Structure 1
Amino acid sequence: MSWAAWRDSDVINVYFKDVPCYECEKPEGIHTAFSKILATLNQPSANYTLSFANKLYGNKDIAFIQKFVFCALKLYLTEVDGVDFHNAPEEVRRLINLWVETRTHGKIKDLLPKDSFDCLVQLLLVNALFFKGQWEVKFDKELTEEAPFYPHHADEKECHSVQLMHRKGVYNAGTIDLCNVQVQVVEIPYKNNELTFVLLLPVDCSAEALEQLEDGLSHKHLLDLSCHLKAIEVDLAIPKFSSEKSIEANEYLNLPDLTDHEKADFSGATTTEGVALTQLVHDASIEIDEEGGEEPEPVPCPKDRRPRREPVEIRADHPFLYFIVHNCTQSIIALGRFAKPE
């Protein structure tokens, strides 16, 4: 039986009749606000694919509190599961990899390499994301060409090859001073303007300029960029690429209140004492290609005797930053650096 058919049947009422409906938080709480954003992002769309895989794995000797299990799923779409890390770590690793692969439609495989954890794991939190969108107006595949990409500066000895996509059109764009770096910025909308891909290309091709930009950026900078842009004709060239990055997030985040056995307090999640988060694994996979909607029909207009301005060239043939924003919720769902082809 399909999920849709099962969902609409009386079976679900029988199955869940003994499950209490916990009040996880007051309606105005911050966790509830995050829940609404996640619910919006998780809605099916024909314009993009956005897949989340969130799951907390605990060794089977950890007794999770049922309210925590319920609220983690309700508020953060995060499942909680008990597994046998201590006696069967390799089997658990394969199980986690298969689950992530399934949830991301086969796009993220082998998230956890062999020997990525041992039998002493208590809690392991997995977070993975896959995104691929359809542009509001597609790039013409026939114009995509193999072109040089300079990782640090315009030095032919260090150049790599990329598939460079091309399109001339009207985009919100401009050259602005951002963190004391001159940056070309262009917004490339996805279908129905649900999401936007924003390219930040330093005019200076040096590694130092990119590093200065990256170090100085803030969340406010990113969300305020649109105020400094205007609709102009752009001759745009950006690489076609797929990017996947997997990290042990607890190595980058300072989380002693979760990972230190002396400081961690999971009393709201489990009745088992002395529990701490052993690993937090994050993986993001992004695909950027030509696919999208058709070119709109040109609108006839009276002849303008003023000389037509040449399009502004934005050619991303050296390292740049990018982010993808969900416009309705102003949520940044991906933020990355393209430094060289993989």
Structure 2
Amino acid sequence: MDLRQAIADQTHVALSLAKHVSSIEANSTNLVFSPPSLLVILSLIASGSSGPTREQVLSFLRSESSDDLNKLSSELVAIVFADGSPAGGPKLSFANGLWVDQTLPLKPTFKQVVDDVYKAASNQVDFLNKAAEVASEVNSWAEKETSGLIKEVLPPGSVDNATRLIFANALYFKGTWSDKFDASQTKEDDFHLLNGSPLKVPYMTSKKKQFIGAFDGFKVLRLPYKQGEDKRSFSMYFYLPDAKDGLPALVEKISSQSGFLDQHHPHHRVEVGDFKLPRFKISFGFEASNVLKGLGVELPFSGGGLTEMVDSPVAQNLYVSSIFHKSFIEVNEEGTEAAAASAGVIALRSFVIAQKLDFVADHPFMFLIREDMTGVVLFIGHVMNPLES
């Protein structure tokens, strides 16, 4: 397996997901979600399925086999998602959990994948008599793994006595900017909503040189996080369309062009003219099965294909009832805190320009958090209204 190509494929899937979630679930609201969180759940579903169901999930994930997906997950957990805070870098936590009905033994091959590849904590539970308690247990687990940021990944009523398995994944990230903003310089100014109406929001600013690239119809800002002593380098990217109402077209462009992120990467620090970035805080949850069905992943939700998870005749009747995903992000003068939980190149150089570049994020924009050495995208979202949390 070519790790770089596998990550490029996952990024393509992530951006395709972002476009659909953006248009279906969040076309007028702020959005944040974590592609790795959702992709882990889908990889586990692929490992536990067979026949056309497995083929459909693998095809969507642009992967040749479950083995390749499992190898990729192992590599990412070791390379990207290891906690960097002891060495002075961002704090990271990536955890998987599995809750299975006490009457259903896991197949040994599936249990091995769950234990060894995904390092998931397995829990035997009583869905028949204690469904609400199990839901509460999963929510408490997600809250603990995301340092209290995700309170309720499973909404009330989502688990009942027909539930047999719950997969959950949680990702937590907290990074400090390598150049913090001076909070005393933060001032209010107008932000223009998609419909054109203005509202006053607090903007962070700085006179220091910034990584900004000017491209055809949009600009990209890269804010690096303080690095630890390992080779990883995390950054947050902001994609700002030139047009005040240009976000939907920019999201379409980013998700449809292969290699877009690497080709539109600001490599150099430049002098800034007018530089303003709003503070924002977003909490966003959605049920992912409708989006996935819209992208062609239908069979796991209809039953018959999840035959490799449990050692029981019941396996023929198992199906994925829903995939809940919830994410949180806060961006301020110090840095970024973000969390998510799911249940269920040749670079084009940006022109090096001698004059100062403006970057005024006073209208809807897209953002993502990425590990630059590998290219793995941890979080994607957009800001429609910085005051809406």
1:166 to 205, 208, 221: 205
Aligned to 1:40: 79
Aligned to 1:57: 99
Residue 184 (structure 2) pairs with residue 142 (structure 1): yes
Aligned to 1:265: 306
Residue aligned with 1:35, SS: helix
- Rounded to whole Å, the distance in 2 between the matches of 1:310 and 1:36 is 42
Aligned to 1:233: 271
Residue aligned with 1:186, SS: strand
Change (3 A) 1:146 1:86: farther
Change (3 A) 1:74 1:224: farther
Map 1:194-233 onto structure 2 (within 5 A). 194-206=233-245, 209-218=246-255, 220-226=259-265, 230-233=268-271
Hey, which of these two has a bigger chunk of strand by percent?
A: 1
CA-based RMSD of the aligned residues comes to 2.4
Aligned to 2:224: 189
CA positional deviation for 1:253: 0.8
Tell me which moved more, 75-84 or 187-196: 75-84
Contact kept? 1:238, 1:315, Cα under 8 Å? yes
Contact kept? 2:222, 2:235, Cα under 8 Å? yes
Map 1:26-175 onto structure 2 (within 5 A). 29-46=68-85, 47-152=89-194, 155=196, 158-175=197-214
Structure 1 runs (4+) deviating above 6 angstroms are none
Contact kept? 2:82, 2:92, Cα under 8 Å? no
Contact kept? 1:183, 1:200, Cα under 8 Å? yes
Residue aligned with 2:206, SS: strand
Aligned to 1:322: 367
Q: Which ranges in structure 2 are unaligned for 5 or more consecutive residues?
A: 1-64, 336-352
Change (3 A) 1:85 1:279: farther
Q: TM-score, length-normalised on structure 1? A: 0.77
Higher relative contact order at CA 8 Å, sep ≥6: structure 1 or structure 2?
2
- Rounded to whole Å, the distance in 1 between the matches of 2:97 and 2:323 is 10
Change (3 A) 1:198 1:222: same
Tell me which moved more, 210-219 or 100-109: 210-219
Contact kept? 2:186, 2:203, Cα under 8 Å? yes
- Rounded to whole Å, the distance in 2 between the matches of 1:161 and 1:173 is 25
- Rounded to whole Å, the distance in 1 between the matches of 2:321 and 2:248 is 31
Contact kept? 1:197, 1:322, Cα under 8 Å? yes
Paired residue total: 289
Bigger Cα Rg? 1
CA positional deviation for 1:30: 4.2
Hey, which of these two has a bigger chunk of helix by percent?
A: 2
Q: Which ranges in structure 1 are unaligned for 5 or more consecutive residues?
A: 1-25, 293-307
CA positional deviation for 1:172: 2.4
Q: Deviations over 1:264-323 (max 9, x none)?
A: 2332x211222222222222222211116xxxxxxxxxxxxxxx9663221111100011
CA positional deviation for 1:72: 2.0
Aligned to 1:279: 322
Tell me which moved more, 229-238 or 166-175: 229-238
Residue aligned with 1:82, SS: strand
CA positional deviation for 1:337: 0.7
Q: Deviations over 1:23-51 (max 9, x none)?
A: xxx9x944213311122223222222233
Contact kept? 2:96, 2:120, Cα under 8 Å? yes
